[in-house]
Structure 1
Amino acid sequence: MIGLDNVASLDHASRPRSETSELPDSEKASPTSHTRKDSVGVEQDQGVTKVEATILVFGRGWKFRLLWASLCLMRYVYSLANGTTSTYVQYATSSFSEHTILGTISVATLLVSGLSTPFLAKLADLASRPVALLVALVLFTLGYIIVAASNTVDAVAGGEIIYTLGSTGLDFIAGIIVSDMTSLQWRGFAYATTSAAPLLINTWVSTFITTGISANTANGWRWGFGMFAILVPVTLTPALLLLFWGERKAKTLGALSVTASGQKQPGVIQANSGQSLARKFIASWNTIDALGLLLIGFSFAMLLLPFTLSTIAKDGFRNPSLIAMFVVAGILLISTVIWEWKFAPHPIMPRRIWNRTMMCCVFMDSVYFLSSYLSLTYLASWVYVIKNDWSLSKYTYWSYTQTVSGAAFCIVVGVLQRYTHRYKYLQVFGLCLRVVGQGLHLYAIQNPSTAVLVLASFVISVGGSFQIVGSSVAVQASVPHQDMALASALLGLCSSIGGSVGSAVAAAVWNAAVPRGLARLLGDVYTDAERAAIFGSVLVARDVPEHALVVQAYNDAMRPLFIAALVTAVPPIVAGLLTEDFYLGTRHNAIEDKEIAVGADGTGEEAIRARVAAQTVPSEKQQGAMA
């Protein structure tokens, strides 16, 4: 079971200097001593205290196993839903003759996805994990029902935005609960088996589902959404019931007094009933840092919109409106930093979490996703056109290369972290692999053989597995349990920003370079309307008689994107070398002296009653003092 290794078996001498430099000499000599401090002086929100108490209640029994199984099943079904509805939504918009709205929906859902995780992290910390999970489940189910029952394309768009809130929340909160229950040495493996492993199966299963429940019919795509509005709630219900039961049982047994450490007053979540509605609203607004979220959202939107509008705006990026958007984005970003660092009562980005490792990982992940989306946004379209000798099955197998190999090596990385107890140099190795992979993509322009294309995708995905799992574990190791959810959310937010900027830049380059290349190479053969048809459909571009010229135009567009992806893949290596190399042991993080209690001695209902009773009985010294 996860996190059960005896802490006495740790080799203290093998730990990095940063873990022992603050300990007194007597503790440095002990092979069983813990790292850093017993307390970091951070007040703990009631949501964190509740989940720690719930873990104590579960103990070794079937309840913990059932919770784990339910979370794994939910994440499997969630992964399957993502793999199929991405196909169904194309037919949903096309059925209303509004397929082009997909671009607008994509921008909106990207914003929602990035901004929802900090809010949900706050909710999970202030209220509880199951409350946040329940909110996400309701939004997910409601969104899917709206799309399935939609009669207009606006309903489809609105439903997708709502279920994006829910699906992002389900994935994020389930991941946080998994992290709550696992020690550092098992954290990467648990992350991989619950989130990446389902892709090994669903990559193939989703194809059978979209084929069996035909998407190209009205009832087909509606059932595609409707069935997951049933399946996900059913699979998640056991986990929710167990979590709520665990919280209630922990309160009944008094386990909260065992796990509370500098706990904050509930404040907003259990507001004084005598307060006015306005005061409650203001308190809630400040506690979740709603203004900070709005500033981040608007700055994010102003930064991305110019890239999506540049191809239709007059004079492109020289359009005064687009320039104004960039200026507003810069002002809002500066305002966000000032608000968060100086004025926010409960900042969504508190200064205490911005340690060296956190900053390095944020930089690595944001630039990693920027680099990835520069090359990946139009990679599939480029390969489909230039490899017109491939059958559809070969193209499909190639498209699965990154997904399957990436998921498989996430598990490998988790195992390596468990037995090496390190992540830093594994992560740096992965970043170096990505550079090699991006170089292979650039080489593929000159030699687009099947071997080169498959090898490039494989190497990039393997390198990405080392990077993503490494950053997730490093960030969670670098902060106390109180800040784990928020730090993970901010890492995800910055990753979304990096990926969306990369995708937007790729769109701007592609939408300008391909038509220009087609005009230069085929202007004497095809009219403007015919060239627009070639550009607008990869099916047409793949089969035109002048295929070699079309390939040249596509290569000219992809070359600068591949070069930019290669160049931006290098700086994260430097950040990787600057992170702290925390020891991945049996503790929850590298900052606090807090062991993972799942399945250990001293857990379970009887053990909790004994510990609570011991707290309430004064010691002999205290009795003497009272006498």
Structure 2
Amino acid sequence: MGFTFKGLTSSALVSGSAASANADNKDIADVPASYQGHTSMDVARPDEKVGSPRESALSRESDEELNKVDTTAEIGVQQVQAASMIWKKRDLILAYIAMWFIQFFTAYASSTSSTLSPYVTSDFQKHSLTALTTVISSIVGGIWKLPYAKILNIWGRPFGLALGVAIYVVGLILMASCNNVKAYCAAQTFFYVGSNSIDFFITVFIADTSKLKNRALFISYASSPWLITTWIYGYGIRGITANGGIGWRWAFGIFAIIAPIVTSPLIILFVVYEGKARKQGLIAPRPSRGNFIQTLTYYLREFDAVGLLLLAAGLSLFLLAFNIYSYQAEQWKSPLIICFIVFGALLVVAFGLWEKWGAPVTFIPWPLLKNRTVIFTYTMAGSLYVGWYCWDSYFYSLLVVLFDQSEVHATWIANIYTMGSCFICIIYGIVLRYYGKLKVFSFFFGVPLTMLGVGLMIKFRQPDQNIGYIVMCMIFIAFGGGVLVTSEQTTLMAVSKQQDFPALLAVESMIISIGSAIGSTVAGAIWTGVFPARLAANLPAGALPDLASIYGSFKVQDSYPVGSPTRDAINLSYGQTQKYMLIAAVCVYCITLFSTACWQNVDVRTMKQRTIGLL
């Protein structure tokens, strides 16, 4: 979503030898040999027909066992468990403070980057491709989290964070130096892969170091920097885009310099404590994988590189077709568009066949997807983000053009969601400490309020409406979304073991990113299909020769005086196009409501976990 607690998802895969001992247990069956050493789904299955939550294996283990290093886990998991046994509470608090500063920086940089996107595309006379720039980056950024979860487990938390920061910086440098929309899309892919990695690490860190009943509260703590950045980054946008401002290239360059500085304290803290744990003999030596070729082959197999490429390429080609078809002379009949759709679909099918019969280690951790709450949390999260990007992709442009808001005011309004969701999730996190049933709040409050806000905007996103109604709708969506984003992450952690957090949450993040890409694709298809046609029908005859430039740049759209026939025609075209986007979003949110209804009514207060090294 425009604000997802920007990213925030979580941590680790392990061995499941005990799973095959219960072959008659249909929820766990036999874990395929390819998963041994990677996942554990040792889960008891009460009568699911009466909706009772499953009993995690954690609930059957003693506190003494839970507080030991799990020697069956991968090295990265053992490292963080060992470090948590020796770090002092003071240092853990310092780590959370360092985490807050990382979140503050990434919140500011992410908000600024997304707001600058229409300025970048407009500079290249391609404003209508604003939604397209997020499609590939969303797909790759989401799919990346599954191998990234394994990286955190195999090579450890500090290496994973450092890798994410490196990719993030590369993306910023490429964004600062791009010369066309193609280069900008490629740069954004690196940027969002790095950003998603940092976000994912933060959630893993919270899952590693917090008690389950406090986890929602700490997730909201990690999102609290948005309460500050929302109010200040609009001024930064004005300073960047104003005449004589530093420009978007320098903005991205400055972020590239700051990123490694602000993230280094947390990396150093992890390295220090893992070093201490290793000296005390709490961490087993890393097993040898052979020579370079053998090691490379091993990790390519473990990360399912073939599956990763098939899925990323297939989804990218298929979804890109819906964003760029209007730029082809023959549109849907264009050979390029037909090839994108056909080969994209074939690659997705090939991915499924590869996962079923060819992959030695499958890309998707299928044995973990046996729990109905897990499945419907995924459909809930995916549909939530499809709906969001259906109506949000051109929201900033709409505020500037249709409602004639300044850059600062437009960013404030666009980030009402951020403010409201941060506020409500803090309250929600506190409430869950005392009433831990997530489903009740999500089904009766979160989804209905979101649907109400988006539904009302069908009426209020029109030229004859007051901006105050948009603010009201955004408050509704913010309060509903804040509950849902917290619930979607906490629910998964409540029905799984710690070692499985990364795999489950990585799949969730992948689904969210694919949902975001689908939503952006729907928005882009509606925009490119409806907006130019509406402009052609609504513009006065004298402005028709400028149709291409008006369509191509929202800065050109905003340059016409308010109240002029051309500006009125542009505003009317905005309203007519946005109506279809909002209707599509409300329809998608029906899936969100149904999915939430299918959750088990888990209570986060009753889940058992280790007690050492947690806040």
TM-score above 0.5 = yes
Map 1:326-337; keep pairs closer than 5 Å.
326-337=341-352
Q: 2:465 and 2:75 mapped to 1: Cα distance? A: 56
Whether the 8 Å contact between 1:215 and 1:224 is mirrored in structure 2 is no
SS in 2 for 1:35: helix
1:510 aligns with 2:527: yes
Whether the 8 Å contact between 1:295 and 1:332 is mirrored in structure 2 is yes
Q: Percent of aligned pairs with the same residue?
A: 24
1:249 aligns with 2:276: yes
1:45 aligns with 2:101: no
- Gap change, CA 1:398 and 1:583, over 3 Å in 2: same
Q: Work out which of the residue numbers 267, 289, 298 in structure 2 matches 1:271.
A: 289
1:498 aligns with 2:545: no
Q: 1:586 and 1:186 mapped to 2: Cα distance? A: 12
Whether the 8 Å contact between 2:127 and 2:551 is mirrored in structure 1 is no
Shift of 1:450: 3.0
What is aligned with 1:35? 59
1:565 aligns with 2:597: no
User: AA paired with 1:113?
Assistant: G
Whether the 8 Å contact between 1:119 and 1:288 is mirrored in structure 2 is yes
For 1:176-209, what per-residue CA distance to the aligned partner results, in whole angstroms no more than 9, with x for missing partners? 1111111211111111211x21111011222333
Whether the 8 Å contact between 1:341 and 1:351 is mirrored in structure 2 is no
1:138 aligns with 2:166: yes
What is aligned with 1:358? 374
User: AA paired with 1:52?
Assistant: Q
Shift of 1:90: 6.4
Shift of 1:476: 2.1
What is aligned with 2:251? 224
Map 1:569-588; keep pairs closer than 5 Å.
569-585=589-605, 587=607
Q: 2:466 and 2:125 mapped to 1: Cα distance? A: 38
For 1:449-493, what per-residue CA distance to the aligned partner results, in whole angstroms no more than 9, with x for missing partners? 333211111111211111111001112222222221121111111
Q: 1:215 and 1:88 mapped to 2: Cα distance? A: 12
My pick for the range that moved more, 285-294 or 212-221, is 212-221
Whether the 8 Å contact between 1:48 and 1:481 is mirrored in structure 2 is no
SS in 1 for 2:73: coil
Shift of 1:541: 6.0
For 1:196-232, what per-residue CA distance to the aligned partner results, in whole angstroms no more than 9, with x for missing partners? 2111101122233344567766855454234333333
Q: 1:401 and 1:334 mapped to 2: Cα distance? A: 40
My pick for the range that moved more, 510-519 or 302-311, is 510-519
Q: 1:560 and 1:86 mapped to 2: Cα distance? A: 23
Q: 2:45 and 2:120 mapped to 1: Cα distance? A: 59
Q: Work out which of the residue numbers 278, 300, 318 in structure 2 matches 1:303.
A: 318
My pick for the range that moved more, 563-572 or 220-229, is 220-229
1:123 aligns with 2:151: yes
Contiguous gaps of at least 5 residues in structure 2: 1-42, 48-56
Q: 1:136 and 1:393 mapped to 2: Cα distance? A: 30
Shift of 1:43: 4.9
* TM superposition score normalised by structure 2: 0.81
Q: 1:387 and 1:91 mapped to 2: Cα distance? A: 18
Q: 1:393 and 1:138 mapped to 2: Cα distance? A: 31
SS in 2 for 1:314: coil
What is aligned with 2:267? 240
Q: 1:187 and 1:312 mapped to 2: Cα distance? A: 47
What is the aligned residue count?
A: 552
Shift of 1:563: 1.4
- Gap change, CA 1:502 and 1:87, over 3 Å in 2: closer
Q: 2:198 and 2:160 mapped to 1: Cα distance? A: 9
1:457 aligns with 2:474: yes
SS in 1 for 2:144: helix
User: AA paired with 2:603?
Assistant: Y
SS in 2 for 1:44: coil
Whether the 8 Å contact between 2:128 and 2:528 is mirrored in structure 1 is no
1:539 aligns with 2:554: no
- Gap change, CA 1:341 and 1:182, over 3 Å in 2: farther
Whether the 8 Å contact between 1:514 and 1:553 is mirrored in structure 2 is yes
What is aligned with 1:413? 428
My pick for the range that moved more, 222-231 or 479-488, is 222-231
- Gap change, CA 1:244 and 1:394, over 3 Å in 2: closer
Shift of 1:396: 4.6
Shift of 1:445: 5.0
Q: 1:557 and 1:98 mapped to 2: Cα distance? A: 18
Whether the 8 Å contact between 1:181 and 1:596 is mirrored in structure 2 is no
Kindly report the root-mean-square deviation, in angstroms, between the aligned alpha carbons of the 2 structures.
3.4
What is aligned with 1:27? none
Map 1:314-463; keep pairs closer than 5 Å.
314-354=329-369, 355-388=371-404, 394-428=409-443, 429-445=445-461, 448-463=465-480
SS in 1 for 2:601: coil
- Gap change, CA 1:215 and 1:117, over 3 Å in 2: farther
Contiguous gaps of at least 5 residues in structure 1: 1-18, 24-32, 258-264, 588-592, 601-627
Map 1:139-288; keep pairs closer than 5 Å.
139-148=167-176, 150=177, 152=179, 159-194=187-222, 196-211=223-238, 221-256=248-283, 270-272=288-290, 275=291, 277-288=292-303
1:82 aligns with 2:102: no
User: AA paired with 2:487?
Assistant: G
Shift of 1:540: 4.4
For 1:94-124, what per-residue CA distance to the aligned partner results, in whole angstroms no more than 9, with x for missing partners? 7788888866654443333222211211100
SS in 2 for 1:582: coil
- Gap change, CA 1:411 and 1:338, over 3 Å in 2: farther
User: AA paired with 2:589?
Assistant: A
Whether the 8 Å contact between 1:45 and 1:266 is mirrored in structure 2 is no
Whether the 8 Å contact between 2:128 and 2:551 is mirrored in structure 1 is no
What is aligned with 1:70? 98
SS in 1 for 2:519: helix
My pick for the range that moved more, 375-384 or 88-97, is 88-97
User: AA paired with 2:299?
Assistant: S
Shift of 1:363: 0.6
Whether the 8 Å contact between 2:381 and 2:512 is mirrored in structure 1 is yes
Whether the 8 Å contact between 2:400 and 2:407 is mirrored in structure 1 is no
Q: 1:353 and 1:599 mapped to 2: Cα distance? A: 25
Q: 1:425 and 1:186 mapped to 2: Cα distance? A: 18
Q: 1:146 and 1:241 mapped to 2: Cα distance? A: 27
For 1:379-407, what per-residue CA distance to the aligned partner results, in whole angstroms no more than 9, with x for missing partners? 3333444435x666654542332222122
Q: 2:71 and 2:318 mapped to 1: Cα distance? A: 35
Whether the 8 Å contact between 2:531 and 2:577 is mirrored in structure 1 is yes
For 1:546-569, what per-residue CA distance to the aligned partner results, in whole angstroms no more than 9, with x for missing partners? 555444433322222221111111
Larger Rg: 1
What is aligned with 2:506? 489
- Gap change, CA 1:564 and 1:211, over 3 Å in 2: closer
Q: 1:437 and 1:218 mapped to 2: Cα distance? A: 36
What is aligned with 2:36? none
